[in-house]
Structure 1
Amino acid sequence: MANIKSAIKRVDVNNKKRAANQSQKSEMRSAIKNVERLVEANDVESAKTALKDTVKQIDKAVQKGIIHKNNGDRQKSRLAKKVNNIGA
């Protein structure tokens, strides 16, 4: 455990940030799973609206550095491909 006052503060800040990042990452993953569930149910309209919200959450995670840019782009691409193939 840290003994220096600044190090103790740093540990507290890191723990708060980690909790916030985990929360946002979890929400993003839940949104992705929701879109995938709607795709499996062949619900086109709901899937498209859910995709918009999910893309927004992924973009926020990328912007805050929670996930890498390429990872976010890959997830958005795969979800869009799934949603677009519902009608086909």
Structure 2
Amino acid sequence: MANTPQSKKRARQIERRTEVNKARRSRIRTYLRKVEEAIASGDAEAAKAAFQAAQPELMRGVTKGVYHKNTASRKISRLASRVKAVSAK
């Protein structure tokens, strides 16, 4: 348990930051789920639109420190290829 005033303050800050990061991660997952659902339904236009919306959201997660840059790039790359495959059908 935190004893010093500084460690108590850090604990409070971490608590607040955790809540913000949790909300961000949840928001990003929602965007990704929308892309997944559009791909599953086979709707190329909806998938493309959802992907266009999800891409900047994912990269924003990188700048805010929620995701690593390579992780976000990998997710975007894999989604892009799946959206492209749906469009090709």
Sort the TM-score into its range (normalised by shorter chain). Answer: over 0.9
| Aligned twin of 2:82 | 82
1:32 is the counterpart of 2:40: no
Distance in 1 (CA, whole Å) between partners of 2:30 and 2:87 is 24
Deviations, residues 12-46 of structure 1 (Å, cap 9, x unaligned)? 00011011111101111121111011011011111
What is the rounded CA distance, in whole Å, between the counterparts of 2:5 and 2:84 in structure 1?
54
Distance 2:87 2:67 in 1: 31
Structure 2: give runs of 5+ residues left out of the alignment.
none
TM-score (structure 2 length as normaliser): 0.92
1:20 aligned partner: 20
> What are the superposed Cα offsets for residues 47-68 of structure 1, whole Å, 9 maximum, x if unpaired?
1111111101100011111111
Q: How many residue pairs were aligned?
A: 88
Q: Cα RMSD between the aligned structures?
A: 1.0
Aligned equivalent of 1:50: 50
User: Which stretches of structure 1, 4 residues or more, deviate above 6 A after TM superposition?
Assistant: none
